[in-house]
Structure 1
Amino acid sequence: MTSSSPVDGQSRIVTASAEVAAPAAVIFELIADPAQQPRWDGNDNLGSAAEGQRVRAAGEVFRMTLTKGAVRENHVTVFEEGRSIAWRPSPEGEPTPGHEWRWDLVDLGDGRTRVTHTYDWTALEDEARIVKARATTSANLQASVDCLAALVEGR
C-alpha cells in the first residue's frame, strides 16, 4: 500500500503481513475480542480489556486500558466477520483524532491465512500525535503479527 499524503517523504500508511499456519476464523477471533488482544500485542502497549466486548459490527465501540493506564475508546469502522476489522482509537469521551488500526485476513486454503496489519494516519492532524504516528513502523506492526502467529501456531 502507498499513501497519497506523505509527510516529509514518509508514507502515512504502514503495513506488515505474514502467512500464518492457522485458519482465518481462529485468528480473527483473537483480533475481534478485545480481551484477547493483550495476549498477542507485540509492542507491550495493551494492558487489558473487559470480557464481553467481542466486536460484531462496524459502529461498535470497545474499550481498552493501555499499559500506562490510559483508557481508549476504539470506534469500529470496518467489520467483515473472519476477514476485516478496523478501528479508530480516541481518549475516553473525546472524538477520534484520525488514525486507524486495521487487520485483513485472506484464507489461503489448507488452514493457512495471509494476515495484514495496517496503521493508517492519513487523516491525523494533531501535531502532538503525529510525532508518535511517525515512530510507528512496519517493524512495530510486524511484532504484533508475529506474536499473533506464534499464539495460533502454538509456538
Structure 2
Amino acid sequence: MAQERKITVQRTIDAPAKDVFEMLTNPERHAELDGSGFVRSDEKSDRIQAVGDVFMMNMTGEHMGGEYQTDNHVTAFDPNKMVGWKTAPAGTEPPGWEWLWELEPQGPDSTLVTHTYDWSGVTDQALLDKVGFPLVTQDQLEDTLGRLAAAVSG
C-alpha cells in the first residue's frame, strides 16, 4: 500500500472567514502562525491577491543547513474560501509540495479551517530521501491552527 503523502488538520476557529483569510493572505503574519519554527520573517512581500503571485519568506532549518529563503508560488486563491502555495528554494521552480488552506463558514463568527500539507507532487526521489518528508509533523500543523486561532481572536 502506498504511503499517504499529505497531512490534513482541521479546527473550528471563532472568527469570521474573512478575518481568517485576511490573516493567511498577509505574509507578514506567517512567522507568528508557523508551528514548525522554520518561518522567520517575510521578505517585504505584498498581500497575496491572486493565483500566480509569489511571496518570499526568510526561513531557518537544519534540513537546509541553517538560514535560507523560499519563493512561495500561489496556486489557489478564492477570497474568504481558499488560499494555497507551492514552496521552492528562492530562485527555483517549486519541486512539488503545497500548503493549502480551506475555509468553511460555520455561522457569522466561526470558521472551519482545513490545512493540508501535500508533498504527493514531489517526484524527485533524491529530494524525497534528502528532505525526509514530511518535514512538518501533524502536531506542528495543529499548533499552526492554534496560533491562527489565537491571532485572529486576539
Normalized against structure 2, the TM-score is what? 0.88
Q: Is the 8 A contact 1:19 1:114 kept in 2?
A: yes
Which amino acid letter does the alignment assign opposite residue 52 of structure 2? G
Q: For 1:135 and 1:46, locate their aligned partners in 2 and report how far apart those are by CA, in whole Å.
A: 13
Which amino acid letter does the alignment assign opposite residue 118 of structure 1? T
- Percent identity between the two aligned chains: 35
1:59 is matched with which residue? Answer: 52
Equivalent positions of 1:40-79 (< 5 A) are: 40-67=33-60, 68-79=66-77
47-56 or 133-142: bigger deviation: 133-142
1:17 to 1, 10, 29: 10
Could you list the runs of 5+ residues in structure 2 that have no partner in the other structure? 61-65
Q: For 1:128 and 1:105, locate their aligned partners in 2 and report how far apart those are by CA, in whole Å.
A: 34
Alignment root-mean-square deviation, CA: 1.7
1:139 is matched with which residue? Answer: 139
Tell me the secondary structure at the aligned position of residue 95 of structure 2. coil
Q: For 1:101 and 1:148, locate their aligned partners in 2 and report how far apart those are by CA, in whole Å.
A: 15
Which amino acid letter does the alignment assign opposite residue 146 of structure 2? D
1:18 to 1:54, Cα distance in 2 relative to 1, 3 A: same
Q: Deviation of residue 119 (structure 1)? A: 0.6
Could you list the runs of 5+ residues in structure 1 that have no partner in the other structure? none
When the two structures are aligned, how many residues end up with a matched partner? 147
Q: Deviation of residue 106 (structure 1)? A: 0.6
Q: Deviation of residue 150 (structure 1)? A: 1.5
Tell me the secondary structure at the aligned position of residue 11 of structure 1. coil
